[in-house]
Amino acid sequence: GPLLRYYAILVQARIRMLIAASAYKRLLWATVTIQRHLRKIKAAIVLQTAFRKWQASKLAEREQAAVVIQSWYRMHKDLKQYLHVRKSVIQIQAWLRSVQAKHVYEEKRACILMIQKYYRAYRLGKIQRENYLQKRAAVTVLQAAFRGKKTCLLYRQIKAACVVQSHWRMRQEQQRFLFMKHLFQPSLKGSILG
């Protein structure tokens, strides 16, 4: 639902902010380190240039070969140092990319697991509700059938009671009639004979 989407976006934004802050700090540290090395290299080059100019103006021709050899050696050393710094920067960049990729993967995986969890809970709730509604409908049907049967049984009992009462009254009336007939029969016989 909208609430799940809101929390998923909130979690993603928070994780992205943490990843960006961490990556920025590491990148800043790497940049500062590289700048320090480059400043040292530039300072060495400036010093070497100034020294060479001074040396060229002061030293004799026989010392010129030694200056060339020293210059080549220093250049080779600076180049070696530069290549080392460049390799370190490439390694740091590769490590940063792998860390970012790992964080992105973990973030997506966490979001997918959260969505799966909420979806399973939704499905389970839906199934339980359907089961409840089915049971409720069955109970309603059973109650209606029970009430109908109970009403039918009550009607039959009332009808049977009415029939019994009717027979009983008829029997009572018949017995009363027979009793009265028995009482008046001798007097009737006498009046007929007289």
pTM reported for the whole predicted model:
0.32
pLDDT tens digits, one per residue of 43-82: 878 888 877 777 777 666 666 667 678 888 888 888 888 8
Is pLDDT of 181 > 60? yes
For residue 89, the model assigns a pLDDT of 84
The structure tokens listed for 152 are 């039918």
Residue 35 near residue 105, CB atoms below 8 Å? no
144 sits in which H/E element? helix 64-193
CB atoms within 10 A of CB 46: 10
CA distance 142 to 147: 8
3 φ, ψ (degrees, to nearest 5): -65, -45
Range from 99-103, 118-122, 141-145 carrying the lowest mean pLDDT: 141-145
CA atoms within 13 A on the CB side of 69: 5
Query: Is the pLDDT assigned to residue 152 strictly greater than 80?
Result: no
Banded model confidence at residue 41, pLDDT cuts 50, 70, 90: confident
Are the beta carbons of 30 and 92 closer than 8 angstroms? yes
| Overall residue count recorded for the chain in this entry | 194
